[in-house]
């Protein structure tokens, strides 16, 4: 059980067509929207078996990816002891067969963990959103339509990690617990290796429910800054991009649907590529150089977007001016040429 005492803010009584998206985005904090999706047909079903059958009614046979952890891992998906490999297996198969296995394992004490994660709803469960969907009545979704994914399994723990998108997580079957940490706690959460990863994002090496403060002395600071969001079926959790989150599915059958989106233009490159290039070009330089380059990046990148070009004539601003799709394409081609020298 986590040692974190702070609870995520809860808003009650929100109507499905009145989600305060502006407040969520400007608040930059996790928020539970209590009971927002309680009237979705999947939430209203009375048993795990009915919920599984309901999902099967939309499935059309496209193979899905399932992650499988052995019973001795107690539902945790992480690294082997030497952190060179992941400690679970992946499998490709039919969703209806995985659902049957999960239902058959209900109340089994020594059950393996099955986790079907980030499965695109529109691709694998066509028609589901016609009956179960958020009201996305905000302009930001017109230019940045969300990716909608389903997460299905039995009792499991996805170790703390961050995503590069804003997230609305809808708890539809079974209870879930999110343990959340602000982005600045990254150094106290002891990220694992950049590879391998379950889905591209690093996981914490620490166990936040059984902390080892001798091995991870900064973890106490992270726990002091963290918060816990406990969700019942029908509850919805919003949290902003780059927030660390550990997700526990607490019951023998769990279904969640989440909405991922960014508000940046699609032509912008992923900052993860910038990080990898910085490891190549900056990290191992002398400290004096690194301090100087930190000032350069603060000036060109992390400060106000217009600062570096505001004193230049419009015709001379080039890539320092506002980025657009054409500039992004040209800059990407230039960087590829430089990297392939």
**DSSP category for residue 308:** G
* pLDDT reading at 95 higher than 70: yes
123 domain-assigned:
yes
Task: Mark whether 221 and 289 lie in a shared domain.
Answer: no
- What would the pLDDT profile of 105-116 be if each residue is shown by its tens digit? 998 989 999 999
Residue 194's CATH number: 2.60.120.10
236 domain-assigned:
yes
Task: Mark whether 196 and 281 lie in a shared domain.
Answer: no
296 domain-assigned:
yes
Task: Mark whether 190 and 120 lie in a shared domain.
Answer: yes
Task: Mark whether 216 and 192 lie in a shared domain.
Answer: yes
Percent of the chain with pLDDT over 70: 99
3-class secondary-structure state, position 59: coil
The strand pairing partners of 153, in sequence order, are: 115, 254
Mean pLDDT throughout 137-164? 96
Q: What is the distance between the alpha carbons of residues 127 and 144, in angstroms, rounded to a whole number?
A: 21
Q: What is the distance between the alpha carbons of residues 127 and 129, in angstroms, rounded to a whole number?
A: 6
Task: Mark whether 193 and 295 lie in a shared domain.
Answer: no
**DSSP category for residue 146:** P
pLDDT of residue 220: 96
Q: Kindly indicate the confidence band of residue 2, based on its pLDDT and cuts at 50, 70 and 90.
A: low
Mean pLDDT throughout 217-238? 98
Task: Mark whether 200 and 311 lie in a shared domain.
Answer: no
Task: Mark whether 323 and 191 lie in a shared domain.
Answer: no
* pLDDT reading at 100 higher than 70: yes
Q: Which of 226, 261, 296 is the last residue of a domain?
A: 261
Q: Which of 234, 261, 288 is the last residue of a domain?
A: 261
Q: Which of 261, 280, 313 is the last residue of a domain?
A: 261
Task: Mark whether 163 and 305 lie in a shared domain.
Answer: no
pLDDT of residue 200: 80
75 domain-assigned:
yes
Task: Mark whether 163 and 292 lie in a shared domain.
Answer: no
Q: Tell me the pLDDT of the chain averaged across its residues.
A: 95
Q: Are 252 and 47 in contact (CB under 8 A)?
A: no
- What would the pLDDT profile of 29-68 be if each residue is shown by its tens digit? 999 999 999 999 999 998 999 999 999 999 999 999 999 9
CB atoms within 10 A of CB 231: 23
Q: Kindly indicate the confidence band of residue 1, based on its pLDDT and cuts at 50, 70 and 90.
A: low
Task: Mark whether 194 and 320 lie in a shared domain.
Answer: no
- The pairing of strands 166-173 and 113-120 is unpaired
Nearest to 199, CA basis, from 238, 144, 161: 161
Domain that residue 27 falls in: 9-261
Task: Mark whether 233 and 112 lie in a shared domain.
Answer: yes
4 domain-assigned:
no
The strand pairing partners of 168, in sequence order, are: 238, 259
* pLDDT reading at 176 higher than 60: yes
1 domain-assigned:
no
Q: What is the pTM of this model?
A: 0.95
CB atoms within 10 A of CB 139: 9
2 domain-assigned:
no
pLDDT of residue 124: 98
- What would the pLDDT profile of 179-220 be if each residue is shown by its tens digit? 999 999 999 999 999 999 887 889 999 999 999 999 999 999
* pLDDT reading at 156 higher than 90: yes
Q: What phi and psi values does residue 316 have, to the nearest 5 degrees? A: -100, 0
* pLDDT reading at 3 higher than 80: no
Sign of the alpha-carbon dihedral angle for 203, 208, 209, 213: positive
Task: Mark whether 20 and 142 lie in a shared domain.
Answer: yes
Number of domains the chain is built from? 2
3 domain-assigned:
no
pLDDT of residue 65: 96
Percent of the chain with pLDDT over 90: 93
């Amino acid at each position: 059980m986590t040692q974190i005492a702070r609870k995520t803010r809860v808003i009650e009584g929100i109507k499905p067509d009145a989600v305060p998206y502006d407040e969520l985005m400007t608040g930059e904090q996790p928020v539970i929207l209590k009971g927002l999706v309680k009237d979705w047909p999947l939430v209203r079903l009375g048993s795990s078996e009915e919920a599984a059958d309901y999902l099967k009614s939309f499935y059309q046979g496209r193979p899905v990816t399932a992650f499988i952890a052995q019973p001795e891992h107690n539902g945790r998906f992480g690294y082997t002891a030497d952190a060179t490999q992941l400690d679970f297996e992946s499998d490709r198969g039919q969703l209806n067969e995985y659902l049957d296995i999960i239902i058959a394992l209900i109340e089994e004490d020594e059950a393996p963990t099955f986790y079907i994660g980030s499965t695109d709803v529109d691709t694998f469960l066509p028609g589901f959103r016609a009956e179960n969907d958020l009201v996305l009545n905000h302009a930001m979704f017109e230019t940045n339509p969300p990716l909608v994914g389903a997460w299905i399994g039995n009792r499991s723990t996805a170790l703390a990690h961050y995503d590069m998108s804003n997230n609305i997580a809808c708890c539809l079957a079974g209870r879930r617990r999110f343990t959340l940490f602000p982005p600045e706690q990254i150094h106290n959460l002891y990220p694992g290796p950049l590879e391998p990863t379950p889905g591209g994002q690093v996981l914490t090496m620490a166990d936040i429910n059984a902390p080892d403060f001798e091995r991870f002395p900064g973890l106490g600071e992270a726990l002091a800054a963290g918060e816990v969001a406990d969700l019942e079926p029908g509850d919805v959790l919003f949290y902003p991009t780059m927030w660390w989150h550990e997700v526990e599915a607490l019951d023998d059958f769990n279904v969640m649907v989440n909405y991922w989106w960014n508000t940046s233009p699609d032509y912008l490159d992923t900052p993860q590529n910038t990080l990898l290039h910085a490891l190549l070009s900056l990290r191992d330089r002398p400290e004096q150089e690194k301090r100087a380059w930190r000032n350069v990046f603060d000036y060109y990148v992390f400060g106000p977007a217009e600062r570096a070009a505001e004193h230049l004539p419009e015709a001379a601003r080039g890539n320092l001016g506002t980025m657009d799709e054409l500039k992004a394409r040209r800059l990407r081609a230039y960087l590829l040429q430089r990297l392939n020298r």
